[in-house]
């Protein structure tokens, strides 16, 4: 099931811009204190490092991802998610805009 609306959040209005604008997101905190960001990755192949464990949910578009230590690319589309361990990294390949929610705290 794809998340289409998130209620009762405190949103950071200044965007996080990574990789020369290929990834743009806005952070928010939910009423229960959990932290997340919502954003878009434009066509590219990128590597992200994690501090906290993350769950990436695809809202629209699609991606392929590869977790640190793996040689296998896996696909993720709308309504699907994948988890990334804390203090790790993942590669992501995007052919068309990938819209996501990243939950991390």
Which CATH number applies to 9-103?
2.60.120.10
User: What's residue 1's pLDDT?
Assistant: 81
Q: In terms of residues, how long is the chain?
A: 105
pTM over 0.75: yes
pLDDT, tens only, 1-53: 889 989 999 999 999 999 999 999 999 999 899 999 999 999 999 999 999 99
Cβ-based neighbours of 102, under 8 Å, separated by 6 or more = 25, 36, 37, 38, 39, 54, 55, 56, 57
Element (H, E) at 67: strand 63-67
- Contact predicate 53/85, CB 8 Å: yes
């Amino acid at each position: 099931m794809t998340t289409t609306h998130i209620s009762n959040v405190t949103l950071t209005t200044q965007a996080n811009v990574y990789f020369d604008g290929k990834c743009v997101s806005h952070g928010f905190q939910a009423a229960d204190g959990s932290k997340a960001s919502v954003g878009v990755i434009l066509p590219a192949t990128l590597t992200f490092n994690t501090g906290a464990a993350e769950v990436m949910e695809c809202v629209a578009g699609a991606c392929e991802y590869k977790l640190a230590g793996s040689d296998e690319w896996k696909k993720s589309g709308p309504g699907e998610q994948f988890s990334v361990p804390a203090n790790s990294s993942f590669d992501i390949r995007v052919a068309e805009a990938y819209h996501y929610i990243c939950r991390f705290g």
